[in-house]
Amino acid sequence: MEYVILNNGVKMPILGYGVYQIADQKECEKCVLDAISVGYRLIDTAQAYGNEEAVGKAIKKSNVPREDLFITTKVWISNAGYENAKKSIEESLKKLQLDYLDLLLIHQPFNDYYGTYRAMEDLYKEGKIKAIGVSNFYPDRLIDLMQFNEIVPAINQVETHVFNQQVKANEIMKKYGVQIESWGPFAEGKNNMFTNETLKTVGKKYKKSTAQVALRYLIQRGVVVIPKSVNKERMIQNFDVFDFKLSKEDMDMIVTLDKEESSFFSHYDPQTVEYITGLGK
Ligand SMILES: NC(=O)c1ccc[n+]([C@@H]2O[C@H](COP(=O)([O-])OP(=O)(O)OC[C@H]3O[C@@H](n4cnc5c(N)ncnc54)[C@H](OP(=O)(O)O)[C@@H]3O)[C@@H](O)[C@H]2O)c1
């Protein structure tokens, strides 16, 4: 495993396992146990995924020492604001059966995320959260939050994959010492990612799949990745990306796949904002 060191000195695995869209509790528990048995130590969940309890059960059953795991969850829009956020974080800790979180993110830059952030800063100071950060904060929201708060977010988790590489946004994050983390490292398979010709051509050189090339590319760019799969063979495949190195020529080929736009939705599109904020009411 390779690691990144966050802006407060916390060590974070560069590859983890995400549990979005694994709503069934039994399935999620099994998946997380499988992922841990494969070697994943970073688990990424969220209040909104409805599976924190399942993740907590799997952590307990795994018998892996707490200090070897890196657990992330996220505060949902409906829990925004100082008091609400604090309460919801306590609930998340209970569901996860943990007494501290390694990383806590604000899931979306909507509702009273200032209040949420200040609750997170307080819990960070109390030692209940080892690192705090944000998700889906594009440069405008990120800079705004940093200008008026004490603690610089350690992480910004944003949609990042070969078709949306976030080069410009990452430059801003680097300027302020914020580590980029990718959600949707495979773009959930959109744009036929798994059969992309460029990724296939590069993969053939190393006897690696398109999925492995896509992850390796992000890792070599210093991006933390949290691929999701419910399939143990794929979990193994996605974990097996540290025994090869893409050449400069490969990297230069893959950079051309960047469309510099979301494969899902834009946080600047009013209809999308209406939809997402509607989910948090
Ligand atoms: N902060 C946010 O707003 C946000 C948003 C989205 C996601 N996330 C986080 O990021 C994580 C990853 O993103 P994601 O789950 O949206 O999508 P993703 O990891 O880009 O893609 C997951 C999809 O790829 C398939 N897959 C996985 N490995 C594969 C392989 N080796 N070969 C072929 N297919 C493969 C999975 O199918 P199978 O499961 O059937 O294998 C699933 O359909 C999430 O789980 C979540 O933790 C955060």
Q: Which atom of ligand 1 is nearest to the CA of 229?
A: 39
Q: Tell me: the pLDDT tens digits for 115-164?
A: 999 999 999 999 999 999 999 999 999 999 999 999 999 999 999 999 99
In the predicted model, what is the mean pLDDT of residues 56-79?
98
**Mean pLDDT, rounded, of the chain:** 97
210 in contact with ligand 1, CB cutoff 6 A = no
Task: Read off the amino acid at residue 49.
Answer: Y
In the reported structure, the alpha carbon of residue 194 is separated from the centroid of ligand 1 by a whole-number distance in angstroms of 12
Task: Name the residue of 228, 235, 265, 273 to mutate for ligand 1: max ligand atoms within 8 A of Cβ.
Answer: 228
Measured by CA distance, the residue closest to atom 14 of ligand 1 is 184
pLDDT of residue 281: 84
Residue nearest to atom 11 of ligand 1 (CA): 18
Q: Is the CB of 56 under 6 A from ligand 1?
A: no
Ligand 1 binding pocket includes 234 (Cβ within 6 Å): yes
Unique residue bearing structure tokens 């440069």 = 139
Measured from the Cα of 19, ligand 1's closest atom is 45
> Which DSSP string corresponds to the chain?
--EEE-TTS-EEESB-EE-TT---HHHHHHHHHHHHHHT--EEE--GGGT-HHHHHHHHHHHT--GGG-EEEEEE-GGG-SHHHHHHHHHHHHHHHT-S-BSEEEESSS-SSHHHHHHHHHHHHHTTSBS-EEEES--HHHHHHHHHT-SSPPSEEEEE-BTTB--HHHHHHHHHHTPEEEEE-TTGGGGGGGGG-HHHHHHHHHHT--HHHHHHHHHHHTT-EE----S-HHHHHHHH--SS----HHHHHHHHTT--SS-SS--TT-HHHHHHHHHHT-
State whether the beta carbon of 189 lies less than 6 angstroms from ligand 1.
yes
The model's confidence at residue 191, banded by pLDDT at 50, 70 and 90, is: very high
Task: Tell me how far apart the alpha carbons of residues 31 and 123 are, in angstroms, rounded to a whole number.
Answer: 29
> Against a cut of 0.85, is the pTM above it?
yes
Which of 20, 113, 218, 263 for a ligand 1 pocket mutation test, highest count of atoms within 8 Å of Cβ? 20
Among 21, 17, 121, 126, which residue's Cα sits nearest to residue 62?
17
Place of tokens 């590069």: 202
State the Cα–Cα distance between residues 264 and 219, nearest whole angstrom. Answer: 22
Q: Look at ligand 1, atom 23, and give the residue with the nearest C-alpha.
A: 188
Residue 233: predicted pLDDT: 98
Residue 184 Cα, ligand 1 centroid: separation in angstroms? 5
Ligand 1: centre distance to CA 128 (Å):
28
49, 113, 124, 217: the active-site residue: 49
Identify whether the C-beta of residue 158 lies closer than 8 Å to the C-beta of residue 185.
no
Cα–Cα dist 204/250, whole Å? 11
Round to whole Å and give the CA distance between 226 and 207: 22
Confidence of residue 68 (pLDDT cuts 50, 70, 90): very high
% pLDDT > 90, the chain: 98
Residue 117 designated active-site: no
Task: Report, as an integer, the average pLDDT of 17-44.
Answer: 97
CB 228, CB 22: distance < 8 Å: yes
Work out the widest C-alpha separation in the chain, in whole angstroms.
54
Q: Averaged over 69-83, what is the pLDDT?
A: 98
Q: Print burial letters for 234-246: b (CB count within 10 Å at least 16), e (below 16).
A: ebebbbbbeeeeb
pLDDT tier at 58, thresholds 50, 70, 90: very high
Distance from Cα 263 to the centre of ligand 1, integer Å: 13
CA of 21 to the centre of ligand 1 (A): 8
